[in-house]
Amino acid sequence: MNIPLIHSLILKVTMLGMAAGIVVWIGWPGSQHHQGNMPGGGRSIGLSESPSSIAAALDRSRSPSFRVDLNRGTLGELQTLPGIGPSLAARIVQHRTSHGPFHHVEDLKSVKGIGDGRFGRLRRFVKVETSAP
C-alpha cells in the first residue's frame, strides 16, 4: 500500500470521529441537549412514536417562546398556542368579548372546545394579566 494513501485514510477517519464527537457533545438538532429550555421541550421524534405523540410534538414546536395573555392576545398570537387553530382562537376572542376578561387561566376551560386535556397542554403558554392595560 502507498503511504500517502494510508495517511489520507487515517485523516478521513479522524475527521469523521471528530464530527461524531461534536454531534454527541453539542447534541443532534431536535434533542433536549441542543434546544435546552425551549417551550416545546426539545424532544426529538422517533420512528416508533404514535401519531398522536408526533402531533403533540409538532404542536409544541409551534408554541410561542413567551406566554400569551388571554385578555390581550390577538388572533395570530392565540394561534401560536399548541392545538389552537383559527376557529378556536376566534372562539377565545369571542368569549372574552361577550363574557368580559378572563380572571384566571383556568377560565379558558369555559371556552367551547377547550377541555381538560387541551387546557393541560396550553396552561404553561398562557397567562392572565390582572393590571389595567
Q: Give the separation between CA 61 and CA 71, rounded to whole angstroms.
A: 24
Same domain, 47 and 80: no
Same domain, 1 and 49: yes
> What's the confidence (pLDDT) of residue 17?
83
Same domain, 90 and 48: no
* pTM of structure: 0.51
10 within 8 A of 3, measured Cβ to Cβ: no
**Overall domain count for the chain:** 2
27 within 8 A of 34, measured Cβ to Cβ: yes
Set of cell numbers at residue 120 = 393541560
> What's the confidence (pLDDT) of residue 111?
95
**pLDDT tens for each residue of 58-106:** 554 554 567 899 999 999 999 999 889 999 999 999 999 999 999 999 9
**pLDDT tens for each residue of 14-61:** 988 888 877 777 776 655 444 444 444 444 444 455 555 555 555 545
Residue 60 C-beta-side C-alpha neighbours within 13 Å: 20
> What's the confidence (pLDDT) of residue 107?
94
Same domain, 57 and 105: no
Identity of residue 112: K
Helix (H), strand (E) at residue 69: strand 68-69
What is the rounded average pLDDT of the residues 110-119? 93
Contact residues for 55 (Cβ-Cβ < 8 A; gap 6+): none
Give the domain-ending residue among 41, 62, 83.
62
> What's the confidence (pLDDT) of residue 45?
47
Same domain, 43 and 87: no
- At residue 130, does pLDDT exceed 60? yes
> What's the confidence (pLDDT) of residue 127?
93
Question: 133 in a domain, yes or no?
Answer: no
Higher pLDDT, 4 or 112: 112
112 within 8 A of 91, measured Cβ to Cβ: yes
Range of the domain at 82: 64-127
Question: 95 in a domain, yes or no?
Answer: yes
108 within 8 A of 92, measured Cβ to Cβ: yes
